[in-house]
A = this chain, B = another copy of it.
Amino acid sequence: MVRENEIRAGEAAVDLPPTTDGGLVFIGRIHTPWTSRLMTPRQGRADGPVCRIEIFDPWRQALDGVEKFERLEVLYWLHLSRRDLVLQSPANDGTARGTFALRSPARPNPIGTTIATLVGVEGNVVLVRGMDCLDGTPLLDIKPDRTLFSPIAPPQPGDFETG
């Protein structure tokens, strides 16, 4: 079951800091088939439905070249998630574990990440499979899948450092 606002047995919440430290801009919107948190996948699947990632102005030009990557890392803002849980019980069975040991949407900074499979680019819309978020979720970033990308900039000393 998806939580609404309850705290479950074994869970722990903290007081959120009164101020924030950094600001996000919503650069687009993700259109998916899921309009209720009761329907949304827990994890996206590579053969899941095609979803539409709409890019807002003035960011459209930043799409130049994304069509070359078979997979994209997509970051989005889980806008309905509570942020104050440090221990969570996803199965609601009295046992809990730390938020950083879970991929639950409830986290201090509710940023979702997925590796999506590219279907195509049409104007300011990127078509992908593999999403797991609600319809209307704000977009934060798109990057090439790390395993498909090699830096174009010349290497730096740190690139050769082992230890």
Contact = CB atoms under 8 A, between A and B. Distances in A.
18 contacts: A17-B25, A21-B23, A23-B23, A25-B83, A38-B156, A39-B156, A41-B158, A42-B155, A42-B159, A62-B100, A66-B98, A75-B109, A91-B152, A100-B142, A101-B144, A103-B149, A103-B151, A111-B140
Interface in A104-146: 104, 107-109, 111, 113-115, 129, 132, 138, 140-144, 146
A73 B148 CA distance: 17
A80 B87 CA distance: 32
A149 to B, nearest CB: 5
Interface size class on chain A is 35 or more
Q: How many monomers of this chain does the complex have?
A: 2
A109 B143 contact: no
A59 to B, nearest CB: 6
Nearest to A77: B22
A43 B144 CA distance: 13
A36 to B, nearest CB: 9
A132 B151 CA distance: 13
A14 B12 CA distance: 43
Contacts of A1: 153-154
Given A90-B151, A140-B109, A158 B25 contact: no
A99 B25 CA distance: 15
Contacts of A140: 109, 111
A27 B107 CA distance: 11
